[in-house]
């Protein structure tokens, strides 16, 4: 399955569920307490992050999609901090703030990237289910997917009414379930239990076939359209009515923290569906996103540039020969990571030592090097009959194999000016005995504040000289 990166800016998603604040106290430990055999942490940094349904909404916003969040908090400092951080991230919050109640807060004491202890502050809420339902009803007209983010903390007291409301508006309802009673999610479009949650309901699965059989039976029993079972290091299994089971492997990488990985899965899945992706493609993107987030410490969100880079790695387009659309996406992603783009162009008919040294020097001027080469017809016009010696495909393949080169693209015009106007590199580099004002495309680059550099080839190296020497033999 070939994954693509969709546009998320017109993919609004509504999250309804249990919001909480994840608070982190960070500091070094240098001694053991004289009062008890525990480390003493000198707290130097306090960090607040949205957790639970808040983290789901935060992940949606981080992908660049509009996000709405309906939930319940206390009328306290933690609730205010939670709302401020979500609003700052672009999440619209419609909270029931209960006076005299405590916002659910999970305090983690961290030292040297290790969690030493977690302290939970929470008390039961009496959610006004009708008021919450009305808040949701008022927002459904502007969203494309609804998520029920259930942590069993009491915000969701009327699952069936919410699911019915979503169906009434023709909006897919995705549920991240909690507990052993999955009947409360009956009629949802899709649920996303992890393996332990799934087996707590259907019993132990000793084989993949048993998992599939029990999963399909549960889909029928609960009138679901699909189910995604997340299986940690075994990846994910997507089950759908009338379709073969789809097993997606986990993305192998160093695991720092699985906190919030389930939130990332359902948020990416919902946002991709809202953007018009098919369910299998949406699940594929969710797998990539999960692989990114478990490499981070604590509750964290995956950004669109991070996901796009993962998609590019999947496509093999993180480096190598690219088309125009791929190149523009790669450049956008590189800039989002603060990388400096260098651009050079030429025929590069026979790659020689002069080219290699020149390209290495060009690459040293930034973080990413684009090499644009004239196509065959363009080379013939510039160099005359008999050129190029090597076809454009062969020339691009050789250049893509050089360590200094990130991306290679061809162009049909005699000059790269059209390409420069599209890509807008930070640095335009040309090799040879030129002044800056003689470099083709220099005015284009200088007009938006870019730099133009002239580098020298290795002395006595040129393709023309090599070709002439061969002809004389």
What is the Cα–Cα distance from 166 to 173, expressed in whole angstroms?
6
Non-local CB neighbours of 38 within 8 Å, separated by 6+ positions: 32
- The dihedral formed by the CA atoms of 348, 351, 357 and 363, expressed in degrees to the nearest 10: 50
What is the Cα–Cα distance from 296 to 25, expressed in whole angstroms?
17
Give the 3-state secondary structure of residue 401: coil
What is the Cα–Cα distance from 437 to 446, expressed in whole angstroms?
10
197 is annotated as contributing to ligand binding: yes
**Smallest Cα–Cα separation from 323: which of 423, 216, 245?**
423
CA-angle at 267, arms to 261 and 271, nearest 5°: 150
What is the Cα–Cα distance from 443 to 429, expressed in whole angstroms?
13
Contact indicator for 78, 120 with CB cutoff of 8 Å: no
What is the Cα–Cα distance from 300 to 297, expressed in whole angstroms?
7
473 by Cβ neighbours in 10 Å (0-12 / 13-18 / 19+) ranks as: exposed
13 by Cβ neighbours in 10 Å (0-12 / 13-18 / 19+) ranks as: buried
Q: What is the largest CA-CA distance in the chain?
A: 94
460 is annotated as contributing to ligand binding: no
What is the Cα–Cα distance from 257 to 264, expressed in whole angstroms?
13
What is the Cα–Cα distance from 189 to 192, expressed in whole angstroms?
10
- What is the DSSP secondary-structure string of 393-461? HHHHHHHHTSTT--EEEEESSSSSHHHHHHH--SEEEEESS--GGGSTTHHHHHHTT-EEEEEPPPTT-
- The dihedral formed by the CA atoms of 388, 389, 391 and 395, expressed in degrees to the nearest 10: -100
- Which pair of tokens denotes residue 288? 């990539």
Please report the sign of the dihedral spanned by the C-alpha atoms of residue 135, residue 136, residue 141, residue 142: positive
DSSP state of 366: S
183 is annotated as contributing to ligand binding: no
Active site residues: 263
What does each C-alpha distance from 171 to 163, 166, 225, 235, 362 come to in angstroms?
9, 5, 13, 27, 51
Residue count of the chain: 473
DSSP state of 390: S
80 is annotated as contributing to ligand binding: no
Which residues does the annotation place in the binding site? Answer: 194-197
Which residues does the annotation place in the binding site for ATP? Answer: 194-197
């Amino acid at each position: 399955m070939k994954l693509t990166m969709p546009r998320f800016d017109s993919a609004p998603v509504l999250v309804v569920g249990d919001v909480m604040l994840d608070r982190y106290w960070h500091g070094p430990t240098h001694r053991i307490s004289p009062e008890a055999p525990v480390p003493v942490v000198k707290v130097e940094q306090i960090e607040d992050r949205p957790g639970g349904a808040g983290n789901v909404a935060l992940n949606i916003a981080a992908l660049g999609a509009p996000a709405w969040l309906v939930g319940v908090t206390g009328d306290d400092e933690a609730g205010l901090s939670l709302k401020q951080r979500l609003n700052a991230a672009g999440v619209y919050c419609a909270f029931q703030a209960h006076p005299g109640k405590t916002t659910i807060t999970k305090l983690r004491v961290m030292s040297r990237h290790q969690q030493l202890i977690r302290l939970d502050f929470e008390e039961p809420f009496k959610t006004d289910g009708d008021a919450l339902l009305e808040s949701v009803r008022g927002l459904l007209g502007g969203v494309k997917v609804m998520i029920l983010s259930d942590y069993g903390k009491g915000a969701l007291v009327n699952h069936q009414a919410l699911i019915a409301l979503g169906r009434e508006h023709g909006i897919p309802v995705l549920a991240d379930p909690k507990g052993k009673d999955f009947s409360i999610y009956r009629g949802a479009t899709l649920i996303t239990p992890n393996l332990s949650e799934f087996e707590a309901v259907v019993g132990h699965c000793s084989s993949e076939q048993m998992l599939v059989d029990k999963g399909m039976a549960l889909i029928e029993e609960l009138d679901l359209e699909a189910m995604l079972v997340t299986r940690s290091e075994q990846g994910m299994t997507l089950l759908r009515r009338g379709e073969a089971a789809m097993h997606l492997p986990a993305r192998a990488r160093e695991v720092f923290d699985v906190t919030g990985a389930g939130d990332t899965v359902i948020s990416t899945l919902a946002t991709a569906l809202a953007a018009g992706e098919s369910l299998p493609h949406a699940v594929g993107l969710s797998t990539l996103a999960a692989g990114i987030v478990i490499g981070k410490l604590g509750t964290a969100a995956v950004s669109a540039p991070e996901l796009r880079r993962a998609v590019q790695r999947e496509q093999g387009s993180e480096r190598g020969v690219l088309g125009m659309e791929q190149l523009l996406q790669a450049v956008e992603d590189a800039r989002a990571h603060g990388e400096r783009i260098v651009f050079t162009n030429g025929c590069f008919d026979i790659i020689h030592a002069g080219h290699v040294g020149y390209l290495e020097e060009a690459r040293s001027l930034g973080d990413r090097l684009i090499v644009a080469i004239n196509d065959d017809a363009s080379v013939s016009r510039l160099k005359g009959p008999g050129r190029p010696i090597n076809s454009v495909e062969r020339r691009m393949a050789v250049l893509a194999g050089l360590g200094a080169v990130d991306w290679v693209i061809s162009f049909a015009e005699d000059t790269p000016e059209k390409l420069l106007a599209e890509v807008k590199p930070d640095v335009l580099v040309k090799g040879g005995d030129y002044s800056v004002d003689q470099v083709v495309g220099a005015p284009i680059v200088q007009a938006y504040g870019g730099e133009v550099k002239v580098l020298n080839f290795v002395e006595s190296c040129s393709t023309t000289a090599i070709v002439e020497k061969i002809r004389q033999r």
